[in-house]
Amino acid sequence: MSAEPIERGRVAADADAIAEDRRRLEETWKFASGLWGWLSEVSHTRIGKRYVVTALGFFALGGIEALLMRIQLARPENHFLNADLYNEIFTTHGTTMMFLFAVPMMLGLGVYLVPLMIGTRNLSFPRLNALSYWVYLFGGLFLYAGFFLNTGPDAGWFAYVPLAGPEYSPGKRVDIWAQMITFTEISALAVAVNLITTIFKKRAPGMSLNRIPLFVWAMLVTSFMVVFAMPAVMLSSLMLALDRLVDTQFFNPAQGGDALLWQHLFWFFGHPEVYIIFIPATGIVSTILAPFTRREVFGYLALVLSLVATGFIGFGLWVHHMFATGLPQLGQSFFTAASIMIAIPSGVQIFCWIATLWTGRILYRTPLLYVLGFIFTFVIGGLTGVMLAAVPLDLQVHDTFFVVAHFHYVLIGGAVFPLLGGLFYWFPKMTGRLLSEKMGKVSFWLVFLGFNLTFFPQHILGLQGMPRRVYTYLPETGWGDMNLLSTMGGLVLTLGVLTYVGNMLWSLMAGPAAGDDPWASDTLEWATSSPPPPYNFQYLPTVDSRYPMWTRREDQPIVTGLRTDRREVLVTDLLDAEPDHRDVLPGPTIWPLVLALGIAATFIISIFTPAGLLIGAVPCLVALIAWFWPRGDTDLKVLKERA
Amino acid sequence: MPAMSAMSAILIPDWVGRHSAIASAGPQAGRIEGLWWLMFWVSTAVFVAVMVALGGAMARRPRILGDSEPPHALTPEERGRMNRLVGGAVAVTVVILFVLLVASVGTGRAIASLSAPHAPIVKVTGHQWWWQVEYVDAVPGRSLTTANEIHIPVGRPVLFRLQATDVIHSFWVPNLHGKRDMIPGHDNEIWIQADRPGVYRGQCAEFCGFQHAHMGLLVIAEPPAQYEAWYKSQLQPAATPVTARQERGRQLVQSLPCALCHNVQGSQASGKTGPDLTHLASRRTIAAGTLPNTRGNLAGWILDPQTVKPGNHMPANTMASDDLQALLDYLEILK
């Protein structure tokens, strides 16, 4: 394939030609309209927004569940929730926050932002992207359909066997959990593949590896972690489903199965999962820091290497979730060392961010406040993480509220704070409207104080011996006061989140127009209108620094020569992003939705009968045939033209 | 913090027991407590240092930019200084982490080194939602079975053999040692020693279903003589009824569903799926550390265990008031 038709140079054409180009781009790339169009949409901005909105919806559900649990625990021997409902709620809370909120939210943000940040028109596989979203949505709806029909899973988000096995969890509750996991894993794997290929091959000319924005690096590392971690949990959830549905005995010790095998498989996924959530958050932090300190982020290379190192080490410490199972001493020391070692790349990142703040001119806007709040809480969470890596200490506080406090410090402080800052930062790009800075600051302080009030006392509760996952506790234990404090913090935190959401709703109705680049930012998503047109950029940009918006010259070259009568994008090479060839992307199609429905039918029916696999295969096959049916138009036409 | 735990120890009634990871009563919990305070103070120092650096960045007045330099770039001097500062901070971090690693591994070795020949062996089996306790002795006549309450001699290592037959549980008495899981198919061992007499509470630490919240146990550390006396009394078969009502109570235990699940040594009740009742009256709690062992609580528990501990495996029992009183009279002599 030749790069011949692509010229890099300033557009010399007159205003009429530019307008004509834009008209044809709009014609070719326009969003599908109507209900049918909505269902067949493949645009990454549309699907990315759906991810964000859906994930926020699940965040709200998970948050309500958290609040119910806090109310139950506010007093000893409280009767607000019974044991059964509490167990269902804490399982659904964990499952929702991990599988239906945090991961899809981060990946969805990547779906929305990556093509914009690297200067292309869509993800590499637009139909696969639509499929990912639908599969995720159906998985989430399936879990909540079960929950509201009183068949919500109740064996914990970690579903340890034998408790989650057929003997001790009869009924369909855990089946729903296991299948929901498979839904979300399929979705996450498909997104990861899509992001990796897009980041590798669709970058704007000049965006060599050492100029990739840090958020995009973070999404790349995360995607690779998804590719290696998710198969472990898909395998284990499949084995669990088989144990439960067709009487295999993978996890039944009485039949030669092994209860610990589940834990190894689950945590081989489960620990990297934490970094799958955390690494994109570090990307958000780095992204926010540049515009709000008006400086380059200090230590680009160190930050990228830290991300990559975290990605590797993250796979070497799953056993620290299993110290209490009684593993040999030597093995424990290895995993202690690995768990402590991962604090080094985290430390490097914290120091680089503080150095950035140190050298820069800080603008105290809401997104930056969230970054400062992030540093405060994440350092605490990281330090308690080092404590948990020490086997002897872990043996005491493992499975107590100390651990609950720790991982909420790293997941809320380490991921949700940056996320709230990031959503505030990108909201104008997504909607074209500005949020209220005043309400933003109020929400930050409520969230920050409420969060610490909720979770700091839980450290003390854990040391005082309060185990996790208990629906109540005896009054004589003396845990009541700290629990009450924690519950009150939860209410303040809720108020903060409500203020944040209220700010969004207000802005959607009455927010001032944002303009293309309200924060005077450095990355390419701000080079186009807010919200971006369906084709993202009229002319694909070129890049000659890490901060393309800050170094953009008057005569900055742009990419020309791409056809506008079909969905053509530029493919560049992996290392230096030199233009390589052109690629044609597919337009709107209903078949990803049909395939997702087929997959959903397969999983749901197979809970009730193994024949579900056969029944579900029919719509899947039909959808796949239609999806891959040769269109015969574009490629043949190109060949004919060449001939 | 120590003052606080001392205060709460006074307030906690004896049937609940002390329950804290930072009020150690044995060598292992003591070692771990030492590691905790080391980590606590190091972490506090690190946190303060990072916050001072952050505060410094926020308080600092920014450099005035020259006209010619690109607005976002650092000057070579700034870059050099930051390189040194960040590099130094990373180096200090690595050193601190290494020290903590050594301290952790050292503590791990120390707490694993406890053992003694001829130590008492206590086999604890986790059940949904109670603890079966068996003292294993080479002489069969000196083995005994009880539930939810473990007596150990002060100052001697005791070997705990931990197992489970239904789901995973975790054995944890924080004042004495960290936790150890009880996993079906994987038997575990843990050595424990109490240096101070006292009542220490334990609680299941691995989510095990419905009543995970009410799965407590007591470890009672006593001077050796007292322990031996307790052991001897537990070896005895159940007390024989003296009054007619007590005899009627025994008949009820044997004829009602009780005998299907519970064992009373020396009677015809020999069920094995529920806690052994031979010396029920000697224990401080019922329902696995959930209620103090009083006549009233026992009556409520027998009639309607599902209200006290919903979902547990003991069914409700209906009986005439006279029968209940007779049953209680009998159970109360099972010292």
Look at strands B158-164 and B130-136 and give their pairing.
unpaired
The pLDDT value recorded for residue A3 is 38
The ipTM of this complex is 0.94
CA distance A131 to A129: 5
Q: Is the pLDDT of residue A10 over 80?
A: no
- 3-class secondary structure per residue, chain B: CHHHHHHHHHHCCCCCCECCCCCCCCHHHHHHHHHHHHHHHHHHHHHHHHHHHHHHHHHCCCCCCCCCCCCCCCCHHHHHHHHHHHHHHHHHHHHHHHHHHHHHHHHHHHHHCCCCCCCCEEEEEEECCEEEEEEECCCHHHCEEEECEEEEECCCCEEEEEEECCCCEEECCCCCCCCEEEECCECEEEEECCCCCEEEEEECCCCCCCCHHHCEEEEEEECHHHHHHHHHHHHCCCCCCCCHHHHHHHHHHHHCCHHHHCECCCCCCECCCCCCCCCHHHCCEECCCCEECCHHHHHHHHHCHHHHCCCCCCCCCCCCHHHHHHHHHHHHCCC
Residues of A in contact with B58 (CB under 8 A): 357, 362, 372
Contact A391 B104 (CB under 8 A): yes
CA distance B193 to B268: 37
CA distance B39 to chain A (A): 7
Residues facing B188 on adjacent strands = B162
Local confidence band at A4 (pLDDT 50, 70, 90 cut-offs): very low
The pLDDT value recorded for residue A631 is 73
The pLDDT value recorded for residue A637 is 61
CA distance A584 to chain B (A): 37
Q: Is the pLDDT of residue A444 over 50?
A: yes
Helix (H) or strand (E) holding A166: none
Q: With an 8 Å Cβ cutoff, is B215 touching chain A?
A: no
Q: Is the pLDDT of residue B81 over 50?
A: yes
CA distance A74 to A486: 8
The pLDDT value recorded for residue A277 is 96
Please say whether the beta carbons of A118 and A202 come within 8 A.
Answer: yes
Q: Is the pLDDT of residue A632 over 90?
A: no
CA distance A328 to chain B (A): 11
Give the closest of B21, B94, B212 to A469, CB-based.
B212
Token look-up 């909105």 returns A53
Contact B186 A260 (CB under 8 A): yes
Residue of B nearest to A291 (CA): B72
Helix (H) or strand (E) holding A379: helix A366-389
Q: Is the pLDDT of residue B61 over 70?
A: yes
CA distance B154 to chain A (A): 21
pLDDT tens digits, A21-61: 899 999 999 988 899 999 999 999 999 999 999 999 999 99
Residues of A in contact with B12 (CB under 8 A): 476-478
Q: Is the pLDDT of residue B251 over 80?
A: yes
Give the closest of B51, B78, B290 to A359, CB-based.
B78
Q: Is the pLDDT of residue A635 over 80?
A: no
The pLDDT value recorded for residue A292 is 94
Contacts A–B by Cβ distance under 8 A:
253
State residue B90 phi and psi, 5-degree precision: -65, -40
Local confidence band at B12 (pLDDT 50, 70, 90 cut-offs): low
Please say whether the beta carbons of A202 and A291 come within 8 A.
Answer: no
Give the single-character DSSP code of A513: B
Q: Is the pLDDT of residue A406 over 80?
A: yes
Token pair for B149 = 């309450």
pLDDT tens digits, A207-257: 999 999 999 999 999 999 999 999 999 899 999 999 999 999 999 988 899
Token look-up 């939602």 returns B129
Q: Is A409 left (phi over 0), alpha (psi -120 to 50) or beta?
A: alpha
Residue of B nearest to A324 (CA): B180
Question: Among positive and negative, which fits the CA dihedral A339, A457, B205, B149?
Answer: positive
Q: With an 8 Å Cβ cutoff, is B19 touching chain A?
A: yes
Name the H helices within A294-328.
300-313
pLDDT tens digits, A310-353: 999 999 999 999 999 988 888 888 999 999 999 999 999 999 99
Please say whether the beta carbons of B147 and B215 come within 8 A.
Answer: no
Q: With an 8 Å Cβ cutoff, is A363 touching chain B?
A: no
Give the closest of B21, B94, B204 to A463, CB-based.
B21
Token look-up 């005491």 returns A396
Give the closest of A163, A396, A397 to B168, CB-based.
A163
Percent of chain B at pLDDT exceeding 90? 81
pLDDT tens digits, B92-104: 999 999 999 999 9
Burial B77-107 (b: 16+ CB within 10 A, else e): ebbeebeebbeebbeebeebbeebbebbbeb
Please say whether the beta carbons of A414 and A381 come within 8 A.
Answer: yes
Whole-number mean pLDDT of chain B?
91
Q: With an 8 Å Cβ cutoff, is B84 touching chain A?
A: no
* Minimum mean pLDDT range among A41-50, A322-331, A525-534, A578-587: A322-331
Residue A61 CB: number of other CB atoms within 10 A?
Answer: 20
CA distance B238 to A632: 89
Q: How many CA atoms lie within 13 A of A114 on its CB side?
A: 34
Helix (H) or strand (E) holding A584: strand A579-584
Give the closest of A294, A337, A348 to B72, CB-based.
A294
The residue type of B190 is: I
**Among A410, A399, A384, which Cα is nearest to A470's?**
A399
Give the closest of B16, B170, B203 to A476, CB-based.
B16
Q: With an 8 Å Cβ cutoff, is A465 touching chain B?
A: yes
For testing the chain B interface, which of A80, A258, A476 should be mutated: the one with the most B CBs within 10 Å?
A476
Local confidence band at A555 (pLDDT 50, 70, 90 cut-offs): confident
For testing the chain A interface, which of B4, B8, B82 should be mutated: the one with the most A CBs within 10 Å?
B82
pTM: 0.94
Token look-up 């600092």 returns B60
Contact B180 A324 (CB under 8 A): yes
Q: Is the pLDDT of residue B60 over 90?
A: no
pLDDT tens digits, B294-306: 999 999 999 999 9
Reduced DSSP (H G I as helix, E B as strand, rest coil) percent helix, strand, coil of chain A, to 5? 70, 5, 30
Contact A163 B203 (CB under 8 A): no
Local confidence band at B3 (pLDDT 50, 70, 90 cut-offs): very low
For testing the chain B interface, which of A81, A329, A474 should be mutated: the one with the most B CBs within 10 Å?
A474
Q: With an 8 Å Cβ cutoff, is B109 touching chain A?
A: yes
CA distance A530 to A517: 8
Give the closest of A253, A329, A379 to B47, CB-based.
A379
CA distance B312 to chain A (A): 11
Chain B residues 234-263 with a CB less than 8 Å from chain A? none
Answer with the residue of higher pLDDT: A564 or A14: A564
Q: With an 8 Å Cβ cutoff, is B332 touching chain A?
A: no
State residue B147 phi and psi, 5-degree precision: -150, 140
3-state secondary structure of A368: helix
